[in-house]
Amino acid sequence: MNDNILPSLAAINARITAACESAGRNPGDVRLLLATKTVPAARIRLALEAGQTLIAENKVQELKEKFAELENISHENHFIGHLQTNKIKDLLKYNVTCLQSLDRLELAEKLHQRLLLENKVMEVLIQVNTSGEDSKFGVHPAEAVALTRAVAGLKTLKVKGLMTIGLFSADTVKVRDCFRLLRNLRDEIAAQQMVGVEMKELSMGMSGDLETAIAEGATIVRVGTAVFGQRPTPDSYYWNENAR
């Protein structure tokens, strides 16, 4: 494995800048989040030392394993994986500031109860399944507004926007439809001016489709492979409920 991630980091940042320029957007309005599943802490550290500030895991177990080694270097932790309610307590031990994968009311309610007990608050994004694929988590688009409204009633949860995983397809028109759907939902929810809901983030776009996502208004792009290289574990391990 090539240990030097600096060229790939520079290349990703150049892609983000170019995509912003094509879309007439300010590169400062798009944050790069490093998706660090399967990546050893030492390599994540290299990225943080190179000036990256935002990382995210998919599994609480990996968050826990890497926590000590990254604790003393300044960065922000989000969580982007499917969260089982029995992992909430653990999640709260590791300074995660934003749960990007909030996809059901049961999870929101249990998280809220635990946060109340610990006298904490947490930022959340509502994850929407914009591709219609069974393998992907997220609330059905038709239920996104109602879920957001319900979560808004839970005072420990600060809704900051929406997240999605686009369709995996070489057909950029179809991929773009997913991202446009998320943006339209964001606008629809923002127009309702719900108390406690700030629709500022659109977390969408990954290694293969970040240009398309930026064209549709992404404010956070989540990149793993293009920075760290291919993962040894298939994504179905992270994205499929039945996989262990």
Map the footprint of ligand PLP across residues 214-243, applying CB under 6 A.
222-226, 238
Establish if 9 lies at the interface with ligand PLP (CB under 6 A). no
Establish if 39 lies at the interface with ligand PLP (CB under 6 A). no
Establish if 206 lies at the interface with ligand PLP (CB under 6 A). yes
User: Which one, 147 or 220, has the nearer CB to ligand PLP?
Assistant: 220
User: Which one, 141 or 208, has the nearer CB to ligand PLP?
Assistant: 208
Write phi, then psi, for 97 (nearest 5 degrees). -95, -20
> Looking at 108, 152, 165, 182, which residue binds ligand PLP (CB under 6 A)?
165
Measured from the CB of residue 193, what is the shortest distance to ligand PLP in angstroms?
29
Number of residues counted as binding ligand PLP (CB under 6 A):
14
Q: Taking the CA atoms of 36, 42, 43 and 49 in sequence, report the sign of the dihedral they define.
A: positive
Residue keyed to tokens 């991630």: 5
> Looking at 5, 8, 39, 58, which residue binds ligand PLP (CB under 6 A)?
58
Establish if 35 lies at the interface with ligand PLP (CB under 6 A). yes
* All residues at 6 or more sequence positions from 215 whose CB lies less than 8 Å from its CB, including other chains: 19, 22, 23, 176, 179
User: Which one, 152 or 214, has the nearer CB to ligand PLP?
Assistant: 214
Q: Containing H/E element for 50? A: none
Report which of 42, 31, 35 is spatially closest to residue 4, judged by C-alpha positions.
42
Residue by residue, DSSP assigns 63-80 as: HHHHHHHHTTS--EEEE-
> Structure tokens of 132?
């219609």
User: Which one, 149 or 235, has the nearer CB to ligand PLP?
Assistant: 235
User: Which one, 70 or 165, has the nearer CB to ligand PLP?
Assistant: 165
* All residues at 6 or more sequence positions from 240 whose CB lies less than 8 Å from its CB, including other chains: 135
Q: Using an 8 Å Cβ cutoff, are 167 and 175 in contact?
A: yes
Establish if 5 lies at the interface with ligand PLP (CB under 6 A). no
Length of the chain, in residues: 244
- Per CB under 6 A, residues contacting ligand PLP are 35, 37, 58, 80, 165, 206-208, 222-226, 238
